[in-house]
Structure 1
Amino acid sequence: MSSIENVPPQVAWTLRLEELDALDGAVAAVAPVVGAAFATGWRGRLLRGEWLGHALHPLLTDVVIGSWTSASVLDVVGGEEGRGAARTLVGVGLAAVGPTAWSGWAEWSDSGPREQRVGLVHAVTNGAAIGLYAASWLARRRGRHAAGAGLGLAGASAMGVAAYLGGHLSTARDVGSRHPAFEAVDG
């Protein structure tokens, strides 16, 4: 492992996570199921965004993150008038999370061991965010807006950690499909 001295703590933590071979058993258990469900045949091609020319996952994450972040903004500044829109936005994020996760799993299947370790933690952290936002939506639907807003803010925290790890995978580790024509062009 490269030196992790004099780097921000989150970078050091992420580098340690990449080397955490204690996750290899979980990765090995999940990989065949994920590969069969999301990474092969027409489903894999669709979910990796081969038809688009690059990974579909980042595009879909914008819908989920954007909806949930907008709901949090409304919770903080929208007052009573923003409650219905905030609940709708939480619901939109929940509706979009399935295809978003599936496209992420398709990319994960083609990545290396270090990336799969981080990707597994990314997925688990996203699972926590999804659970918190689902509970938020239910609380809001039952008229418990303050509880729903609190659960949404907790979900936003989990989502932030997951987004950091996802950003690491896509930018620092270059995980993501792209058309070969992009590789042939010198930038």
Structure 2
Amino acid sequence: MSSVEKLPPQVSAMLRLEEAESLDRAVAAVAPVVGAAFATGRRGRLLRGEWLGHALHPLLTDVVIGTWTSASVLDAIGGDDTRGAARTLVGVGLVSVGPTAWTGWAEWSGSGPREQRVGLVHAVTNGVAIGLYGASYLSRRRGRHTQGALLAFAGAAAMGAAAYLGGHLSTARDVGTRHPAFSATDGAGATGGSPDPTGH
């Protein structure tokens, strides 16, 4: 039994995903488009959050996850009089997801091969969640609240999987822009993460 097999299954799965060279062709196809659209010049600096001092992406993900989770809470326990509010929350999440994705792509563009493999799966999983929430919103608009709620619950499952992958990138692999002053003032002298304001 190898050392990887002795690890917790979720850790082993993430290590295998990081080593999945079969994803490299897709990464190579996407990377130039993403780089040109989200990672260069003033637009890239804005999306990475250099003006903020650290990555903008986590802040925006809280908006999307918060609104969609709140909608599902209302669906589960809110009653008929909260249907309109739940639909509005799903809509707010859908409006917010575009800028959130852009900031994520800006960070992804400068990350390493392992991180880009995980990030690509993260993006695809988020795409599934977006599609389900979009269908949920349309169902609610057509008066099919139960169908909309079920679609949102499925979307929440996809969103949770995507959030796990995103959490792996930000915490286990330290992907994310931060100002170099934060590394320079680390009392323990640790060197994790990105040493320059571009996050690379």
Q: Fold conserved (TM > 0.5)?
A: yes
Give the C-alpha shift of residue 72 in structure 1.
0.5
1:172 equivalent in structure 2 = 172
* Count of equivalent residues: 186
Percentage of pairs with the same residue: 81
Q: Give structure 1 stretches of 5+ with no counterpart.
A: none
1:47 matched to 2:47: yes
Write the letter of the residue equivalent to 2:71.
A
- Could you state the TM-score of these two structures normalised by the residue count of structure 2? 0.91
Deviations 1:132-151 (A, max 9, x none): 00000000010000000000
Question: RMSD across aligned C-alpha pairs, in angstroms?
Answer: 0.9
Aligned to 1:183: 183
Match of 2:190 in 1: none
- Greater mean alpha carbon deviation, residues 3-12 or residues 172-181: 3-12
Higher helix share: 1
Alpha-carbon distance in 2 for matches of 1:70, 1:165: 21
Q: Which residue of 2 aligns with 1:114?
A: 114
**1:66 corresponds to:** 66
Q: Where do 1:66-105 residues align within 5 Å?
A: 66-105=66-105
Partners of 1:127 and 1:99 in 2: CA distance: 14
Q: After TM superposition, list the pairs within 5 Å mapping 1:145-160 onto structure 2.
A: 145-160=145-160
Structure 2 portions without partners, runs of 5+: 188-200
Query: Could you say which residue in structure 2 is the equivalent of 1:19?
Result: 19
The Cα offsets for residues 87-122 of structure 1, whole Å up to 9 and x where unpaired, read as: 000000000000000000000001000000000000
In the alignment, which residue of structure 1 is the partner of 2:198?
none
**Shift >6 Å, 4+ stretches:** none
One-letter identity of the residue aligned with 2:37: A
Shift of 1:3: 3.0
Q: CA deviation at 1:4?
A: 1.8
Partner of 1:31: 31
Separation in structure 2 between the aligned mates of residue 4 and residue 76 of structure 1, nearest angstrom: 39
